[in-house]
Amino acid sequence: MKLGRLNHIGVATPSIEESISYYRDVMGAGRIRDPFEMEEQGVKVCFVDTPGENGTFGTQIELIEPLGEDSPIHGFLAKNPAGGQHHLCYEVEDIDEARSWFEGLGKRILGPTRIGAHGSPIFFLHPKDMMGQLTEIMETPKDDTHWSN
């Protein structure tokens, strides 16, 4: 497998509204996308853009707030009430090839390949098999406008 772009860093937060103020008013973020709900995943998400080199598109921050009582984010926030870094997401060229690669290495994959927040297929790998990092693998989105919303 060939390591692709670090698409985003997932950051859990008790309040996306508060996080938006933080990234805008404290960190000076230039562009923050509209938040949206992903009911099946039990999360509300919001992407903050960071600039890449030479005017390119940099790694995003994905803000994640729990949605509903069964949200997987409640456990994380119970341990980290202020929120914090939750996962890393890397791009790959071909999601099926990447899945076979990690399966062949005996890495635990968390659930089926599904469509993620960027409209592109993704899966997650168990942090205990990934040196302590909850890792998301995403097929590079075909639309290079980066799904504006």
**Total residues found in the chain within this entry:** 149
Amino acid at 105: L
Residues acting as catalytic residues: 136
Q: Is residue 16 a contact residue for its own copies (CB under 8 A)?
A: no
Position 68 contacts its own copies (CB under 8 A): no
From the list 16, 67, 88, 109, which residue makes contact with its own copies (rule: CB under 8 A)?
Answer: 88
Q: Whose Cβ is closer to its own copies: residue 39's or residue 131's?
A: 131
- Least CB distance to its own copies at residue 21 (A): 10
In the complex, least distance from residue 40 CB atom to its own copies, rounded to whole angstroms:
25
Q: Cβ atoms within 10 A of the Cβ of 123, count?
A: 20
- Residue 77 CA to residue 54 CA, distance in Å, equals 36
- 54 is a site residue for its own copies (CB under 8 A): yes
Q: Is 27 among the residues that bind its own copies (CB under 8 A)? A: yes
φ/ψ of 128, rounded to 5, equals: -70, -20
- Residues forming contacts to its own copies in the complex (CB under 8 A) are 1-6, 9, 11-13, 18-19, 22-23, 26-30, 50-54, 56-59, 61, 80-85, 88, 90, 102, 105, 107, 127-128, 130-133
